[in-house]
Amino acid sequence: MIFFSDLDNTLIYSKRKIAGNYICVDKKEGKEISYLLNTVYQWILKQPLLTIPVSTRSLEEYQRITIHPRFSYALVANGGILLKDGQIDRVWREETLQLIMDCQSQFELAKRYLYQYEHDISSLRMVNQCYLFIKSNAQDKWIAELKDILDLQKVTIIPFDRKIYILPTLLTKGNAIKRLQHRFVELKQPNIAAGDNLFDISMLKLATTAITLDCPKMRSALQMHPDSHFYHPKQQAPIYFSEYILKLISDKLT
């Protein structure tokens, strides 16, 4: 069995979202950014089953995580980059760029449009040539306007907090897992997947067992899934989502 997992807010947390015994696993310019509960950290080190991170983090953001050499495989940039034993798989990278080639014109169109309003946007950048990242307080405004000018057959617009992600429709976590299983047939086996938001739905739908947060959007997306589990923080506190995931995995393995 294989465990495919999102990282942020699934296994790792910012300091304001964590308490108790934890360890820092992500620093930027000397500043602590992200943490793992000690119990989760020890579980990962023991590797009770093959764990494969599947993250929207950029390559650079992922490489900051100090536990990443422990993973034999990792999918980052929403599946646009495959790391094998910590090294970039160049064949995968070229395949990704070919896969999303038709989306480049959409990224350029969005950038040209948004550059007119730089004063309203705190960040606008391409991430590893895979997707466009935008940060702004006027999130709803930009989403509405981008939907009017972009080809939504080619790209998907996903909001998250004050951020907007414009991703190729083919660059999903689910498609990345399908590519991985096609490339490495030994990975095509029953699996557990965990994730907390819209980026994770395609991955969760593919999984034999899906674990996610208890909210209307995730419940609706997984309503037809035969083995889905929903974590509700108010009902299951003080257990964290990551601890809830590990307990479910332990139950599956016994």
Q: For residue range 97-134, what is the model confidence (pLDDT) as tens digits? A: 999 999 999 999 999 999 888 778 889 999 999 999 99
Q: Which pLDDT belongs to residue 67?
A: 87
Give the range among 16-30, 80-94, 107-121, 193-207 with minimum mean pLDDT: 107-121
Q: Which pLDDT belongs to residue 211?
A: 98
The C-alpha atoms of residue 130 and residue 94 are separated, in whole angstroms, by 11
Q: Which pLDDT belongs to residue 118?
A: 76
pLDDT exceeds 80 at position 69: no
The C-alpha atoms of residue 252 and residue 122 are separated, in whole angstroms, by 44
The C-alpha atoms of residue 141 and residue 235 are separated, in whole angstroms, by 35
Q: Which pLDDT belongs to residue 155?
A: 98
CB 85 within 8 A of CB 92: no
If you average pLDDT over every residue of the chain, what do you get? Answer: 94
For residue 225, give both structure tokens. 């899934």
The C-alpha atoms of residue 135 and residue 7 are separated, in whole angstroms, by 20
Beta bridge partners of 122: none
pLDDT exceeds 90 at position 238: no
Q: Strands of 123-127's sheet, edge to edge?
A: 123-127, 131-135, 163-168, 155-160
Collapsing DSSP to helix, strand or coil, 109 comes out as helix
Pairwise pLDDT comparison (139 vs 75), residue with the higher score: 75
Q: Which pLDDT belongs to residue 92?
A: 98
